[in-house]
Amino acid sequence: MKFTIQVAPEDCTGCGVCVNVCPAKNKANPRRKAINMEDRLEHLASERDNFTFFLNIPEIDRTAITHLDMRMSQFLEPLFEFSGACAGCGETPYIKLLTQLYGDRMLIANATGCSSIYGGNLPTTPYRTNREDRGPAWCNSLFEDNAEFGLGMRLAVDYHRAKAESLLKSLAPQLGDSLVGELLNGEQRDETGLAAQRRGVAALREKLAGLDTPEARELMQVADYLVRRTVWLIGGDGWAFDIGYGGLDHVLASNHDVNVLVLDTEVYSNTGGQSSKATPVGAAAKFAAKGKPTDKKDLGLIAMSYGYIYVASVAFGSNPQQTVRAFQEADAYQGPSLIIGYSHCIAHGYDLRYGVDQQQRAVNSGVWPLYRYDPRRVEAGEPPLVIDAQGGKIPVAEYEKNETRFRMVEKIDPEGYRRYLEASQEAAARRMATYQHMSQLRLPKAGEEPHEETLKEVAN
């Protein structure tokens, strides 16, 4: 049960992120950490042997992890690795985490963009299966219709599940009421429940093999859909904020059980760095060479206005525990979910080994708020919006000074940059004030009159 970190010597990109964030230091030499950058060629042969040994270490039993937090989540096997993305990419950690949590039962609809390029860089793919040959089902759609594409996956899964349940009930006399009841009523909200359901499906297949009827053969084909599937729509801000927004809005409003992960780099990263509606005010990008004159679209706030969509804004570099929690809540929510993840990018113009540090500055300045909007909290008599980071700890200028996309505007037009910086500071304060106000509102439950405190708050 010891824990080790082993580098894949032939796949490490040398980004340096892991060394930069490593908290363990040599007391005798603080400049020396538990992991350190070394010359690759000098260690290649020995590390190949170490990595081969590492791959043969048994994976931890998922049902043994009863409390899933940031630390424990990293004991789960990732089913996404060696992607070929830019060294230090801020998108891939979110996908890796997603596959650790749900990779053996997830379907992914991936919008065209960076995540589709490194996600399907044929003839290889970073998505893989575990030792039970289970892994994510992945497919890439166009920029403009990925949300509808993912909704189609959800509808197909629901249809197959309903078909399996109908056949299961009709065959109950031959299969036994006990097995049928367990499969129909099994709780699948944790790894223990999922493992029990898979054992039930295996037992079902054994019984179906002895039944030579059309119904038994049909149920054999769809039996795996009795195990709960999770559907994720993944793409960048160019898709979610811009080109695919109409479809995304429609799918979120449809109230189906889909989960959306927006990898927000605040720019069209894959096609050369064009400005998008997610680009912040004052940032330079193609089509906004002197700085974008308007602030970024608040996709999360728009989604919250529906009232029945789970919405979260996360930044793993600032609060990894909040990121894990948001993923868990989104998957557990039986309705549409939207997670917007801060994703540092080479288009921002700095050494990405410091990407985690820059994420922390974005959150501390209020430029990137951390929150979770959970409609289930209303029924518990609590405000649905929870703010996980207050912002305002540092000025926005301290965040922007580290990125070329802001500094080049200052160099080209100092006076214009000053105005943009003021606008950015005001936008951050206004955004946080809006969220603070919302986080105090206790909404009425279904059929309930508005709370007196809410009425007073609105009146004020």
The alpha carbon dihedral of 190, 149, 120, 321 has a sign of negative
140 token code pair: 């890439």
pLDDT digits (tens, 9 = 90+) for 203-229: 999 999 999 999 999 999 999 999 999
Per-residue pLDDT of 311-346, as tens digits, reads 999 999 999 999 999 999 999 999 999 999 999 999
Contacts of 181 (CB under 8 A, 6+ apart): none
Q: Are strands 310-314 and 370-373 parallel, antiparallel or unpaired?
A: antiparallel
pLDDT at residue 39 above 70? Answer: yes
Interhelix angle 191-208/177-185, rounded to 10 degrees, is 140
Domain boundaries defined on the chain:
92-150+229-438
> Model confidence over 388-440: pLDDT tens digits?
998 999 999 999 999 999 999 999 999 999 999 999 999 999 999 999 999 99
pTM metric for this prediction: 0.94
What is the side-by-side order of every strand in the sheet holding 106-110? 137-140, 106-110, 230-236, 259-264, 337-342, 310-314, 370-373, 385-389
CA distances from 408 to 23, 271, 289, 402, 418 (A): 33, 20, 9, 11, 13
Give tens-digit pLDDT for 77-119.
999 999 989 999 999 999 999 999 999 999 999 999 999 999 9
Give yes or no for residue 451 having a pLDDT over 70: no
pLDDT at 224: 97
According to the model, what pLDDT value does residue 446 have? 76
Burial class (CB in 10 A: 0-12, 13-18, 19+), 453: exposed
Has domain 92-150+229-438 been given CATH number 3.40.50.970?
A: yes
pLDDT at 23 over 80: yes
Mean pLDDT of the chain: 94
For residues 385 and 415, the answer to whether their CB atoms sit within 8 Å is: no
The reported pLDDT for the residue numbered 444 is 86
What is the band of 460 on the pLDDT scale with cuts at 50, 70, 90? Answer: low
